[in-house]
Structure 1
Amino acid sequence: MTRIRLTPIALALAALPLHAIADPLRHVDPRIGVVGDGATVIGPSLPFGSVHPAPDTARGDNDGYRPDQPIRGFSQLHVSGTGWGQYGNFLISPQVGLNTVPGTYDSAKADERAEAHQYSVRLTRHGIGAELAPTRNAVIYRFRFPASDDAHIVFDAVQHIPGHINESMMAQYRTPVPARLELSADGRSLSGHARFPGGFGGPYQAYYYAEIDRAPSAFGTWRDKALQPGARRIDSSGTLEHLGSYGRFDTRDGRPVTMKIAVSFRSVEHARATLAREIPGWNYEAVRDAGARHWREALGAIDVQGGTDAERTIFYTALYHAHVMPRDRTGQFERFPDTAPMWDDHYAIWDTWRTLYPLYALIRPDVVRDTVNSFIARQQADGAVPDTFIAGVPQFREQGGNGTDMIIADAHAKGIAGVDWHKAYEVIRHNADRRRTGPHFDNPGKGPGPYRELGWIPAGIMSNSMSLEYSYNDFAAAQVAEALGQADDARRWRERSRKWTSLWNPDAADAGFQGFTMPRKADGTWIDVDTRKYGGSWKPHFYESNAWTYSYFVPHQAAMLVERMGGRQRFIERLEYAFANNLIDTFNEPSFLVPQLFHYVNRPDLSARWLQRITGEKFTLKGYPGDDDSGAMSSYYVWSRLGLFPNAGQDVYFLNGPAFDALAVRRPGKADLQITRSGEGIYVAGVTLDGKPHERSWLRHAELDRTHRLHFTMSAMPTAWATRSAPPPSMP
């Protein structure tokens, strides 16, 4: 490795002012992640908005859509990047003629255009142009029909993705949907509610209120094939039938038909009031332009310079996807105070605590504040705060650990203001002393479970992966406890966080490397399993991973892990072997931190090398290398381009070098953080903080917080920078 010193030119570059990119919204392409594994939504939303309208297609994926399939219509709610489907409710289908049976009115498409704040398409079956733009809780549609006296808008009140769109889910979720729909006397407005069977989350009830800008020439309700002309009310009969309403319009005057709809999880009255407040008129352009302003403000959190147009598009699309979920549904649920923030659609905090919430801590601390305060409100109302919370319904369907602890601990470590930390601590204490019960579903009172008694879970479903995640939960809980003066709790939980070693089998071996986390029976007997076998979802021993990956998941005791794996040099050889032989599932959440572990053995160059291979080659204009998982994958990419990476739940960032020449990170209430680079290559040769040399390959949050200019000097070859400095902190 070569040693490169900071030159006067490099120091001068670090002092140059940054200028905002002209229009970050121009670099957002919502099609990225829709095709392939990303599972993102092609339709528009507002940042953290409740509604997310989008086209649904025949044989749609988890997001309800496949680009090679005909469009069935446009529904108002979707989840983004998830590994299971949800929502797809309150479908609107513009037609010429009248068809009410799903599958009989699907249309091919042309001229599809997807933007962050609006979506448009031409439905070629009848030559209908469709445009839509959302507010936070409502959507405005504009349909341009051909000249006809038989144009229709059909509304399906019971469709949902798990039961009607995603074929892989239908066997489980094709169940009756209790519903009611009512039309006004002139047919211009419709309202109602339905109770849907859920998807990944539990059953939920949703309400709607919609208006059309003109009275239809005829209207009625329908149930499957049967029409009820002039009828103003319809209820489901408890069967699998579809039902809804229709309106007929004369469009020979060339005027478009405009429709607007609000969705509420509280009541029809709440939806009606929301629509009147958020879309009081019929000005499509006003709604569209307001959405664009919201997105420009959100995306302006990070300004970039340099890179190619494609690289900027991938970056800003990732930043866009990091602002979709969770969703702000404050005031939507009756059991919570209207004044209490309520953040919903935590599809899986197991996904989002590692990179998404640390990104919010940097650029949107208000989101972190409100999320933690919503945890407090949920603890007080529901008595528990499970990781999954969709449509206001808590679900004890855990993928591993208690991720809420990690969001709270990360927020506390970074000094997020506006939280009553003693109340937040009650959430942590409840999880640590009443939960940590091991894998179970929908049964929070299952019992103490072996983890709280042993500090590990005997061999079974997810036993090793959940034990390791619980260990880190306990460390995070102990950190908060100690800061709040709860010494006894801190001692108990910190001691339990060390018990991951009880599942470390020093004799387990693969490819000449010894020591792996392995399943163990309650009597202490080891079970020999294939270290490379992928566990899948809710399978024995490892959740969505294997022993190779989870043997590295000890974020709080990395130094001990290095020792257990044979010391510094052997650790380096082993981790390089794991990456080179694809033994680490680098695109799933448990492995997000693994490339950063080279920092603990003073080889930041190896972190840079493997991070570049992981993110620089696999994130493209065609999509992502895996499910976006509610912005988890996108935020992982954003961190990789910033040149920083968080050890979530702690106050530590690893320094890897930025991918752009310059970035300005807007920090609300503080001076911008300006990140710059000089030189070519992926390896860091030197770092300065406000012009002063920094020899460590990591920073604490307090250091970053007071830094205005973070400059990296880069090299095409590995260098000696930070090879002799103190490694990142690790619990003894």
Structure 2
Amino acid sequence: MVSVCPYSGAYPTGYGRFDLSTEGLPAALHEGSVASGFTHFHQSGTGAIRKYYNYLRVTPMLQPLDALGSSWELEEEQAGPGWYSATLAPQIRCEVTVGPKSAVHRYTFPRHHDARVVVDLSQGGLAIPFGRTVPLRAHLHSVAPGVAQGEVVVEGAPLAVHVECDAPGWRQMLWYDRRLMPGGTRLDFDHIRPTTLRPFGLMWAGPSDPGHPVEVRLGFSLRGPEQARANLERDCGGFSADPVFDRRREATTATWDEHLGKVQVDTPSAGRATVLGTALYHSLIKPCLAPDESPFWPTDGPFTFDVATMWDIYRTQLPLLTLLRPDAAMDVATALLRICEEEGNLPIGYRMARGADQFSRQASALSHTFLADLCHLGLPLDWDWALVHLHNDLRRAYGEDFLTHGLAHPITHTLDLAFGYWCTARIAHHVDDRTLVDQLTPLADRWSHAYDQGTGLLLPSTFYEGGVWNYSFRLVHDMATRIALAGGEESFLSMLDRFFGFGAPPVTQPGHAPGVQEMTAGYALGRFEGLNNEPDMEAPWAYQYAGRPDRTADVVHAAVQQCFGTGPGGLPGNDDSGGLSSWYVWASLGLFPVAGQGLVLVNAPSWRESVIAVPGGELSVQTTGFTEPDAHGPAQYVQDVHLDGRRLDRTWLTTGELHAGGRLLIELGPEPGRWDAGRPPSLPDPTHPSAPLADPTTRPV
């Protein structure tokens, strides 16, 4: 539930150097790595939502309180999963770690007569125009020496904190507008306006000796300070306990070791292993799971936020979460349905904020894809309950245009809604509601209304972060008909080759602050954006539906080897809550999920051997003929595939086969062979999936 990070105010997460930028190279806000303290709750590399969390800043400082908000240089930065440390100039060693619903800070000061730790409850958002988040109401109470509790209502969500500071002999004071309130025990603000906000918070101050750390422990809750106290007790032990930082860090590291150990690869390259480990870590950070913490409805049970957004994560991150942590995937699914029941719609995005659907322009009906994948696996959700909400949700927003006119603009919503109907019909078939299947199936066929048969591309429309070419190679549920609409396989392959730039000169990347004319000219090229945005993620695998898996291998090899690295710029675009990093995990393993269809496409892996911990045990992906990849060398190509010793006469697995585990042996060679093994299935009829649903009584969960 909780994250903590040094805060500079920079876009997009609050950490780093850069100003707001969604196109081209960003301008710098800071010359180097700086921080004004450490804040809690962060988006994970998403795009232009502007107001990011970064609540409750904790600042260790030697200067007077008037200097609060100043930035100091960060030096000697180190990080591991769930842990960060750095030296904040001048000479304050800072370490932070987290528990499920808590954060622990440890600060080691130099010798000083009046060191201090300042907690700012008014902090929120980013240091960019219109990026600040202002609390609506707040209160803060000094409970006892070294103990305080508070709550701020931010974007409609009541965020409570229980704070403990292990600094014997230090003074404890409240402050307002950077002025101390000696003897004060409470601050209450019934209504705060953005124009009248003054910073407020809590401070501990006293003499420091080198080598004697000060520990600050914070428990969080969305259901009041007492639950925040209980969460801290559960995560870290009570105030009377000895310092807990090391024990909390060890427990968090052990949890992450368990999760990250679910994918093991054989590689001699430490750099490539680091890229994979980092990508897997990023893939599992979000959505935030906060069981029993919903502030918006009274029942306990799964609650999740930072679904930011389904458009970013439904193709790659959620299928990976379902494979590696089906328990977490089920919690996310249950929470999404509860959000729909309580707030009126299945969200495209959901933050720790009141109001579920603030991102409807991106897409429609994407929860349907996620839930269809869970249904394909036979996972034990209340599918009758789910079906009611899935069906109703299809009629909201753009769904009315789709029903009335047969399509909706932006035209990509037509594809979303048609596939949403296909997924919902699949679930209706699962619960044996034949009447609903008959009603929904013709609506699922309307995906074809989105295409211009003259061009083979989508109809002219507006497009979210892309152009008509970026969206035209989506893996729809009837790819055979899609390819026919493009004029057949040769025509479709020619369009794909043009999109990926085969035989074309390199494009020029936009520089600082590109203008509308430059960006419009770039989109007019109709070229692959190199994974900079979600619409392109599926496109390399469209080749397999036209019998050219070798082309998939070419594109994926180039992307995996050239677009991801260990240094700054090591990602080709926004990570988007793990959407991009999970693409790398799948692609490097030689697998790719066709979201919602129960299919996983197979191609050349980037590792000699990999072992994935799956619900049914282990999936071992082994190779013959493998050579270590080179960023500037050619791809390798699949020659043949065997699953558990039997030749696989297809280029895909079912998700049931993937989750069951086994031994996948992939023979590789330096030239394209004859391996196309037929085309992946087109599934126009939702009552005939790629494989029967597993029996949930026998399926390992």
Q: Distance in 1 between matches of 2:254 and 2:35?
A: 29
CA contact (8 A) 2:53 2:124 kept: yes
CA contact (8 A) 2:284 2:321 kept: no
Q: Distance in 2 between matches of 1:114 and 1:254?
A: 21
Matched, 1:232 2:198: no
Q: Distance in 2 between matches of 1:349 and 1:206?
A: 24
Which deviations, in whole Å up to 9, do the C-alpha atoms of 1:448-504 show, x marking residues without a partner?
63112222125xxxx212222212212211221222222232233221222233332
> 1:419, CA displacement in angstroms?
1.2
CA contact (8 A) 1:689 1:707 kept: no
Correspondent of 1:685 among 624, 630, 639: 639
- Name the counterpart of 1:499: 446
> 1:147, CA displacement in angstroms?
1.3
Matched, 1:107 2:58: no
Matched residue type, 2:5? A
> 1:428, CA displacement in angstroms?
1.0
- Name the counterpart of 1:179: 138
Which deviations, in whole Å up to 9, do the C-alpha atoms of 1:190-225 show, x marking residues without a partner?
21111224xxxxx32211010111345333222223
> 1:291, CA displacement in angstroms?
1.0
The number of residues matched between the two structures is 625
Tell me whether 110-119 or 493-502 shows the greater mean CA deviation.
493-502
Secondary structure in 1 aligned to 2:55?
coil
- Name the counterpart of 2:104: 140
- Name the counterpart of 1:422: 384
> 1:107, CA displacement in angstroms?
1.2
Q: Trace 1:505-544 onto structure 2 (pairs within 5 A).
A: 505-507=452-454, 514-519=455-460, 541-544=462-465
Q: Trace 1:465-614 onto structure 2 (pairs within 5 A).
A: 465-507=412-454, 514-519=455-460, 541-580=462-501, 583-587=527-531, 588-614=533-559
- Name the counterpart of 2:225: 268
Q: Distance in 1 between matches of 2:314 and 2:58?
A: 35
Correspondent of 2:372 among 409, 413, 417: 409
Secondary structure in 2 aligned to 1:154?
strand
- Name the counterpart of 1:196: 154
> 1:626, CA displacement in angstroms?
0.7
- Name the counterpart of 1:56: 7
Secondary structure in 2 aligned to 1:63?
coil
Correspondent of 1:372 among 327, 333, 337: 333
> 1:76, CA displacement in angstroms?
1.8
TM-score, normalisation: structure 2: 0.85
CA contact (8 A) 2:123 2:134 kept: no
Which deviations, in whole Å up to 9, do the C-alpha atoms of 1:362-394 show, x marking residues without a partner?
221112222222233333333432222211634
Q: Distance in 2 between matches of 1:191 and 1:274?
A: 13
Q: Distance in 1 between matches of 2:555 and 2:597?
A: 23
Q: Distance in 2 between matches of 1:183 and 1:472?
A: 54
- Name the counterpart of 2:405: 454
CA contact (8 A) 1:349 1:404 kept: yes
Closer/same/farther in 2, CA of residues 385 and 671 from structure 1, 3 Å limit: same
Q: Trace 1:646-725 onto structure 2 (pairs within 5 A).
A: 646-668=593-615, 670-680=616-626, 682-722=636-676, 725=678
- Name the counterpart of 2:55: 89
Which deviations, in whole Å up to 9, do the C-alpha atoms of 1:670-710 show, x marking residues without a partner?
22111111113521011001111112111222333445100
- Name the counterpart of 2:693: none
Closer/same/farther in 2, CA of residues 338 and 135 from structure 1, 3 Å limit: farther
Secondary structure in 1 aligned to 2:301?
coil
- Name the counterpart of 1:5: none
Secondary structure in 2 aligned to 1:248?
strand
Which deviations, in whole Å up to 9, do the C-alpha atoms of 1:392-449 show, x marking residues without a partner?
6342221101211111111111222x311111212211212x32x22xxxxxxxxx63
Q: Distance in 1 between matches of 2:467 and 2:87?
A: 46
Gaps of 5+ in 1: 1-49, 198-202, 439-447, 508-513, 520-539
Q: Distance in 2 between matches of 1:708 and 1:354?
A: 24
CA contact (8 A) 1:468 1:554 kept: no
Q: Trace 1:32-71 onto structure 2 (pairs within 5 A).
A: 50-57=1-8, 59-66=9-16, 68-71=32-35
- Name the counterpart of 2:204: 247
Q: Distance in 2 between matches of 1:643 and 1:651?
A: 17
CA contact (8 A) 2:6 2:37 kept: yes
Which deviations, in whole Å up to 9, do the C-alpha atoms of 1:500-558 show, x marking residues without a partner?
33332233xxxxxx232224xxxxxxxxxxxxxxxxxxxx6211111112222351121
Q: Trace 1:128-167 onto structure 2 (pairs within 5 A).
A: 128-161=92-125, 165-167=126-128
Q: Distance in 2 between matches of 1:402 and 1:216?
A: 57
Q: Distance in 1 between matches of 2:550 and 2:41?
A: 44
Secondary structure in 2 aligned to 1:207?
strand
Q: Distance in 2 between matches of 1:371 and 1:389?
A: 11
Tell me whether 95-104 or 465-474 shows the greater mean CA deviation.
95-104
- Name the counterpart of 2:689: none
Matched, 1:620 2:577: no
> 1:270, CA displacement in angstroms?
0.6
Q: Distance in 1 between matches of 2:617 and 2:103?
A: 36
- Name the counterpart of 1:333: 294
Q: Distance in 2 between matches of 1:368 and 1:174?
A: 30
Secondary structure in 2 aligned to 1:518?
coil
Tell me whether 419-428 or 483-492 shows the greater mean CA deviation.
483-492
- Name the counterpart of 1:44: none
Tell me whether 618-627 or 246-255 shows the greater mean CA deviation.
246-255
Matched residue type, 2:448? T
Q: Distance in 1 between matches of 2:560 and 2:683?
A: 26
Q: Distance in 2 between matches of 1:345 and 1:688?
A: 39
Q: Distance in 1 between matches of 2:431 and 2:210?
A: 69
CA contact (8 A) 2:339 2:356 kept: no
- Name the counterpart of 1:524: none
Which deviations, in whole Å up to 9, do the C-alpha atoms of 1:149-202 show, x marking residues without a partner?
2011111111012xxx331433xx46564322111343x1121111224xxxxx
Q: Distance in 2 between matches of 1:707 and 1:255?
A: 51
> 1:102, CA displacement in angstroms?
4.3
Tell me whether 74-83 or 227-236 shows the greater mean CA deviation.
227-236
CA contact (8 A) 1:387 1:404 kept: yes
- Name the counterpart of 1:382: 343
CA contact (8 A) 2:140 2:187 kept: yes
CA contact (8 A) 2:83 2:97 kept: yes
Gaps of 5+ in 2: 18-31, 505-525, 627-634, 686-701
Q: Distance in 2 between matches of 1:369 and 1:181?
A: 36
Matched residue type, 1:142? R
Matched, 1:219 2:172: yes
Closer/same/farther in 2, CA of residues 291 and 488 from structure 1, 3 Å limit: same
Closer/same/farther in 2, CA of residues 480 and 250 from structure 1, 3 Å limit: same
RMSD over aligned Cα atoms? 2.0
Secondary structure in 2 aligned to 1:79?
coil
Closer/same/farther in 2, CA of residues 117 and 299 from structure 1, 3 Å limit: same
Matched residue type, 1:489? L
Q: Distance in 1 between matches of 2:288 and 2:221?
A: 13
